[in-house]
Amino acid sequence: MKNILEAPFIKEMQSACSNMYRLGWDERNGGNISYLIPEEDVAEYLDTGKVIREIPISFYAPELIGKYFLVTGTGKYFKNVEGDPETNLGLIRIASDGRTAQLLWGYRDGGKFTSELPAHLMSHIARLSVDPNNRVIMHTHPTNTLAMTHIHSLEEKAFSRTLWGTCTECIIVFPEGVGVLPWMICGNNEIGVATAEKMKEYRIVLWAIHGIYGAGKDMDEAFGLIETVEKGADLYLRYAHFPIVNRISDKQLDELATAFGINYRKEFLDL
């Protein structure tokens, strides 16, 4: 059996966590990632019949029974994942009761998955219902995006339109726009339900004055979505207090989307 520390999915998680920490998006133990791994990939590195221990999920997820997830640990720092993945990550399988996680590897110090795992699983269910290739849910605290939620309307059309207008690539990378939730208590099922409902329409959901949930078919896509939103927010904060002389018009955004064959959310533009 192969060494799991050499598994591509472990390496991808290490790289993502390190990059997000270095960017200043995940201070202390902020942020969490869950990565859906095909059973055949797991079986190359682990005896899937050997369960280390079982951990209650506090959420019923029958749609995910038998599925495997690599998940960051609760209270763990992203900066430590690269050096000690076996303590800071865990590979779990959703048990046949749909309410229990079977730990197959990781959480070596007796820890467990992030407290926001229910929100992740709800978002996985939502995304899989519209995109069966969805595998990654990523939660992080990008600085400029959080700052933007302090000073900009949280109405989804307005927020998305502003981001689309900051630079050419935004409408191409997230043509559906961004979903936005008002500030809510984190770490409970209520915010998970609200996020999952948004995830049926958006791959990016903003938690106002808190962070972002991003989804994608792989780590690069989820990370790329978030960093593009963050770039747009950074640009917005740099010019928002100045008179705007040049701006990408709604007509130009429509022409851009047409040129790239992008099916965007047309109700977010006034044409």
- Identify whether the C-beta of residue 205 lies closer than 8 Å to the C-beta of residue 120: no
Tell me the per-residue pLDDT of 173-207, one tens digit each, with 9 for 90 and over. 999 999 999 999 887 889 999 999 999 999 999 99
Residue span of the structural domain in which 162 resides? 116-271
Same-domain status, 29 and 91: yes
In the prediction, which pLDDT does 188 show? 80
Tell me the per-residue pLDDT of 14-29, one tens digit each, with 9 for 90 and over. 999 999 999 999 999 9
Same-domain status, 106 and 79: yes
Tell me the per-residue pLDDT of 75-117, one tens digit each, with 9 for 90 and over. 999 999 999 999 999 999 999 999 999 999 999 999 999 999 9
Tell me the per-residue pLDDT of 3-14, one tens digit each, with 9 for 90 and over. 999 999 999 999
Same-domain status, 151 and 60: no
Structure tokens at 243: 């008179």
For residue 39, which amino acid is it? Answer: E
Residue 236 has pLDDT above 80, yes or no: yes
Residue 265: CB partners within 8 Å, gap ≥ 6? 160, 175, 176, 177
Residue in the block written with tokens 């209270």: 75
CA distance 198 to 189: 14
Same-domain status, 68 and 182: no
Measured at the alpha carbon of residue 264, what is the angle toward residues 226 and 199, in degrees to the nearest 5? Answer: 50
**Nearest CA to 104 among 133, 63, 66?**
66
CATH number, domain of 153, equals 3.40.225.10
Quote the percentage of the chain above a pLDDT of 70. 100
Same-domain status, 40 and 127: no
Q: Give catalytic residues, as residue numbers.
A: 116
User: Is-above-0.85 flag for pTM?
Assistant: yes
In the prediction, which pLDDT does 186 show? 84
The alpha-helical segments, DSSP class H, found in 152-249 are 156-164, 169-173, 189-199, 219-239
**Nearest CA to 50 among 4, 13, 88, 87?**
4
Query: 120-129: string of b/e by CB count within 10 Å (b at 16+)?
Result: bbbbbbbbbe
Q: Which of 114, 129, 148 is the last residue of a domain?
A: 114
Same-domain status, 92 and 124: no
Same-domain status, 6 and 105: yes
CA distance 194 to 181: 8
For residues 244-253, give the mean pLDDT.
Answer: 94
Same-domain status, 65 and 151: no
Q: Which of 114, 142, 160 is the last residue of a domain?
A: 114
For residues 207-216, give the mean pLDDT.
Answer: 97
Q: Which of 94, 114, 134 is the last residue of a domain?
A: 114
Same-domain status, 120 and 220: yes
Q: Domain tally for the chain? A: 2
Mean pLDDT of the chain: 96
Burial of 8 (0-12, 13-18, 19+ CB in 10 A): exposed
CA distances from 170 to 82, 164, 182, 207 (A): 30, 5, 22, 19
Same-domain status, 4 and 44: yes
CA distance 114 to 133: 23
Classify strands 211-216 and 100-106 as parallel, antiparallel or unpaired: unpaired
Same-domain status, 140 and 267: yes
Same-domain status, 158 and 267: yes
In the prediction, which pLDDT does 189 show? 86
Strand order in the sheet with 136-140: 53-56, 100-106, 89-94, 68-72, 32-37, 136-140, 211-216, 204-207, 179-181
Q: How confident is the model at residue 119 (pLDDT cuts 50, 70, 90)?
A: very high
CA distance 60 to 72: 20
